[in-house]
Chains A and B, each alone.
Chain A
Amino acid sequence: MTMPVTSNERSAGLYDEQLEEAFRRRPTPLLIKHKARIKAFFAAVVPLLLSLGLILLVWQLLCIKPTSALPSPSRIWSEANELILHPFYESGSQDIGLGWRVLTSLKRVAVGFGFASIAGILLGAFVGQSQWATRGLDPIFQVLRTVPPLAWLPISLAAFRDSQPSAIFVIFITSIWPIIINTAVGIRNIPQDYRNVAAVLQLNPLEFFWKIMIPSAAPYIFTGLRIGIGLSWLAIVAAEMLTGGVGIGFFIWDAWNSSRLPDIFVALAYIGITGFVLDRVVATIGTLATRGVQSN
């Protein structure tokens, strides 16, 4: 206990008071201070680790024979631990870590999804606002929405004659539909009250868009964006398998062609975790941005 040395002249009463004060102010041990949080952390993590361990164990047992078609976890570790341990190594333009590859793919997704968000929200606002547009365009969107990403690729390659913009276009066209459709639903569901307020205030269309439409439809828009980012991440892997480059999608194709099955499994884990993180990021932004909108 660190306490200023008190001189002998001080009365015993004062001394006791200081001692008490110092005792009260002593730092709480970290373990006790964060006990609740540590408990919550373990409560969340332990079941996850246990199930993960169980799955790996079953997998290991199923693929334990050296002749089995798919590699066991232990074989993946022994043959591909380089990829897991060093996600950001660089030795040559084509020989880079999976972290870099994921980042390259993410860049493409960012561009394609960015365009899809802007275009999707604008188109959705237009469609939601006009009954005529809803009747005319909604069925078309509903049909196009079901076209799988890879089916767009030949058209896109023919149109752009280059793999880079084609890959981005595939992401764009895959992720735009849920954004349009959800935004339109959100706009259609703007309560008449808010429209009345806007009318009394004589908001012009631009002000109405920014001050009423976007905030009011935000929960719907973010639902669309969340579905959209998931789809775009699905599309990038497929698109890159065909267009080449250094993305994570092409890595899988490349590994397949050179029979490096363990590498593919590691890449799958990277893709899955990245997709999960993307989803959480959009969901978190959505929760922050739509605070209050629902609590009416």
Chain B
Amino acid sequence: MTGYLKIENVCKIYTRGAVTTVVLEDICLRVEKGEFVSIIGHSGCGKSTLLNIVAGLTSATSGGVILEEREVNSPGPDRAVVFQNHSLLPWLSAYENVRLAVDKVFGGTMSRAERHEWTTHNLELVQMTHAAEKRPGEISGGMKQRVGIARALAMRPKVLLLDEPFGALDALTRAHLQDQVMALHESLGNTVMMITHDVDEAVLLSDRIVMMTNGPNATIGEALEVGLARPRRRVALAADATYLERRQRVLQFLYERNRYVDAA
């Protein structure tokens, strides 16, 4: 195992006055190229902090992140993030939101026509061509998240970071988007790291599920190879023995060995 994306001994300590809180303790994780890894844990366990460290939006107190043999410690388009609340710029249309990313990342290497082509192509991937000229305020939550995915994909990232991408959506829209993300991962072969607190989502989408213990001092408790053949069909899987067994193991980890303790 060489590891395409390596998270090595990452610790995150917050100090506020005399109080120091260890949020993440000694996190080590290796993600292979093309692998879909989910990180699951109760809220407050620091999984979003971990994603932000990989994205470069937060710095680790110690340890580091290595992507393709190079250390990364500042944000960049090679680790595109799909944010939980879509984070589209509301004054730009869907097309312009994606185009801003395309112009920034490929401004030097693609001609104007190519960039237009590439923007449109990525909107097509998430089936948003029909609403390309709409502003975020004029489209539904699911559509916004699709544009957010298109924007991230358009950066042609080495790693795609999904921060609870479907958390704010209703169940049906969520299922629909999960299928789309699965199809995209199938066809594009992206390396994906996804934060989630939804057990079914984790088992359905990922190759490997990384389970985090409760914070403070959160760390990786267990990693589980899902090992289900792709393409996966959610309806067929609902009765699949392996699927149910994997689901059971994640549930056991989350609700028996690491029961959520309300700190407040």
Contact = CB atoms under 8 A, between A and B. Distances in A.
Interface of A: 193-194, 196-197, 199-203, 207, 211-212, 215-216, 218, 290-296
Interface string B76-100: 1101110101010111000000001
Given A202-B104, A215-B91, 9 more contacts: A193-B83, A196-B57, A196-B87, A200-B75, A200-B76, A200-B81, A291-B91, A293-B90, A295-B90
Contacts of A294: 90
B87 A197 contact: yes
User: Which label, helix, strand, loop or mixed, suits the secondary structure of the B interface?
Assistant: loop
A174 to B, nearest CB: 30
A201 to B, nearest CB: 5
B85 A200 contact: no
User: Which label, helix, strand, loop or mixed, suits the secondary structure of the A interface?
Assistant: helix
Given A200-B80, A201-B77, A201-B101, A292 B137 contact: yes
7 contacts: A193-B87, A200-B55, A202-B76, A216-B89, A292-B136, A295-B90, A296-B90
Closest CB pairs A-B (n = 10) = A295-B137, A193-B87, A199-B75, A215-B91, A296-B90, A292-B135, A201-B104, A200-B75, A293-B91, A292-B91
Contact of B57 (A199, A207, A295): A199
Interface of B: 55-57, 74-77, 79-81, 83, 85, 87, 89-91, 100-101, 104-105, 135-138, 155
A199 B56 contact: yes
A200 B91 contact: no
Contact of B137 (A193, A201, A207, A296): A296
A202 B100 CA distance: 11
Given A200-B55, A211-B100, A295 B135 contact: yes
Contacts of A291: 91
Nearest to A197: B87
